Every structure is written in C-alpha cells, then in structure tokens.
Amino acid sequence: MELHFTKMHGLGNDFVVIDAISQDIDLTEAFVQALGDRHFGVGFDQLLIVQAPTQKNMDFKYRIFNASGEEVEQCGNGARCFARFVIEQKLTNKKIINVETCNANITLELTQDNLVKVDMGQPVFEPKDIPFLANQKQSSYRIDAGEFGQLEINAISMGNPHCVLLVDDVQTAPVATLGALLESHPDFPKKVNVGFLQIIDSKHAKLRVYERGVGETQACGTGACAAMVAGVMRGKLDNEATLTLLGGDLTIRWQAEQSVIMIGDAVRVFEGKMKWPITTQ
Ligand SMILES: N[C@@H](CCC[C@H](N)C(=O)O)C(=O)O
C-alpha cells in the first residue's frame, strides 16, 4: 500500500498529517510508533489524522496521536497545521473551519497576514475533569515533587491536561528531570504536560514544555494556552501576551469565562509517499 502524507510544523513542534478521508489507514499503536520513529520511519512529535465529521455543523474530525502511540485529546500547534493542510489540499473553501476533536470542538481561521487563529475553547479547572487529584478546586495547588520539594502549580485542562509552574529562568530550569517526574506524578492519573513559565513582563513570557508522551518539544500550543491562563490567574500577565517558545512566538488572548485564542504560524515542510508496511528490503 502507498501512504501519502504531509510533513508540517508549528514553531518546530512537528507533525505528519494524513488525509484519512481519501485513504484507508489502520490506526494501531504499532502503526503510529513505526511512522513516528525518527530513524526507521518519518518521525514526528504528533500524528494528525483528517477525517470526515461525525457531528452536524462540523467540517472535519481531527484525531491526534503522540509519538509514543497513544491518542490524545488536543493539540494547539497541530490545530494550526490542520487548518493550513485542509485549505492547501483544497478539502474546504471555508474561511472559518469548525473541527471536532475527541472531546471538544474548535474553530480555525486564516488571518490576513497568513497566520492561523484558533479558538481553543475555555480552559477547564474542575480537578476531576483535568484529571487532577484534589479535594476541591483551587486557583493553584502545592504538590510534592520529591527531590525538587513542594512546588506551587496550576492544574488546567485545555482539552488535554497541563501542569504549569513559574520559574526564574527557563534556560536553567530542570525541564528534562522535573518534567519527566511531573509527567508521571500520581496526582495526574492520565499523566500531564508540564510547562515551565518565565514572566518577562505583563505582555511577554518565555515557556518550555515537557510534553506527555514525547518529552521536551520545540513548542506546545495547548501548553502556551495553559501557561497564559496560569499567568493571568496569578496576576502576572495581561489579557493578551506573547509567549516565546524554543521554536518561536505565539500570541495568546484570554480573560476569565472566555475561550482562549491562539494566533501563530503553521508551515508545510514537504509532501511524501511511502510504502506501507515499512520493509527493510
Ligand atoms: N504539541 C501539542 C500537544 C500534543 C499533545 C500532548 N503531548 C498531550 O499528550 O496532551 C500542542 O501543540 O498543543
């Protein structure tokens, strides 16, 4: 079988995008892991699957898989690439594209300066819906991080779970070690994405993210949305701010009781086709 795919990235968070409306694929964990292998496959942080919608008034269904193979609920950088993909492949001629994910609906739109604007929906704070183990909802929590001591964190869902902590300097933050420890912290039963947020001023912050199921990536869109929400809730960020990630900048807007709006770039790198299953001969 020949598999057609597109390699894309949003600020260096990289994706393989597959049109599964015109191609039949068997989305097993083994398939995702083999395609995601950077040495023996194509390689990506996430695999994005374009499907026909299942709900009325929706234009597409969008499925997301981490490189580790498991399906996840949301991906912000992926959402922008999804918009660029369906427009450039002429799968739609709509200006505003409504997309269903496994647990939410999001709206995508090209801006006049050729960036992509995404309405990511409202952040979720209810512990059981994140999921996060806590007796009651609080604006921030203290958790035990072993050798790193007690840490103050924000626990937020943007459809997928995020833990955000403030650091003095992202460059020296222990992203690999503390990120891995918190990713599998028992208080986050479905694991968690971990954001290290450094406030520069009320309109600008730096962020590094250790992603669940991947490790540190160049950027994480939902991580930037969750960090923005945490920064506003802690009184450190205005309602619009620039978040600088390793791979570039995102503009994020949020105020209480409202959707999070994210604006940033989405880039097609190349088109490819490969024989499937992968053989070594
Ligand atoms: N890179 C993403 C998030 C992808 C999913 C995440 N690793 C998870 O497991 O929830 C983004 O841009 O939001």
Q: Are residues 19 and 58 in the same domain?
A: yes
Average pLDDT over every residue of 57-72: 97
Q: What is the pTM of this model?
A: 0.97
Residue 38 lies in a domain: yes
Whether 239 is in a domain gets the answer: yes
CATH code at position 37: 3.10.310.10
- Tell me the average pLDDT across 155-183: 98
- Regarding whether 58 and 165 lie in a shared domain, the answer is no
HEC assignment per residue over the chain: CEEEEEEEEECCEEEEEEECCCCCCCCCHHHHHHHHCCCCCCCCCEEEEEECCCCCCCCEEEEEEECCCCEECCCHHHHHHHHHHHHHCCCCCCCEEEEECCCCEEEEEECCCCCEEEECCCCECCHHHCCCCCCCCCCCEEEECHHHCEEEEEEEECCCEEEEEECCCCCCCCHHHHHHHHHCCCCCCCCCEEEEEEEEECCEEEEEEEECCCEEECCCHHHHHHHHHHHHHCCCCCCEEEEEECCEEEEEECCCCCCCEEEECCEEEEEEEEECCCCCC
Domain that holds residue 115: 2-119+266-275
> What is the interface pTM, i.e. ipTM, of the complex?
0.98
Same domain, 147 and 165: yes
Q: How far is the CA of 229 from the centre of ligand 1 (A)?
A: 16
Indicate whether 187 belongs to any domain.
Answer: yes
Residue 280 lies in a domain: no
212 lines ligand 1 (CB under 6 A): yes
How does pLDDT run across 79-126, given as a tens digit for each residue? 999 999 999 999 999 999 999 999 999 999 999 999 999 999 999 999
Does residue 72 lie in a domain region? yes
Write down the pLDDT at residue 279: 64
218 lines ligand 1 (CB under 6 A): no
Percent of the chain with pLDDT over 70: 99
In ligand 1, the atom with minimum distance to the C-alpha of 79 is 12
Ligand 1 geometric centre to CA of 222 (Å)? 6
Pair (115, 137) in one structural domain: no
281: in domain: no
Q: 110 in a domain, yes or no? A: yes
Q: Whose CA is nearest to atom 8 of ligand 1?
A: 212
- Shortest-distance atom of ligand 1 to CA 223: 13
**Does residue 73 lie in a domain region?**
yes
Query: Which amino acid residue places its CA nearest to atom 1 of ligand 1?
Result: 220
Query: Same domain, yes or no, for 160 and 253?
Result: yes
What is the number of structural domains in the chain? 2
Q: Which atom of ligand 1 is nearest to the CA of 211?
A: 7
Per-residue pLDDT at 281: 52
156 and 51 within one domain? no
- Asked if residue 123 has its Cβ within 6 Å of ligand 1, the reply is no
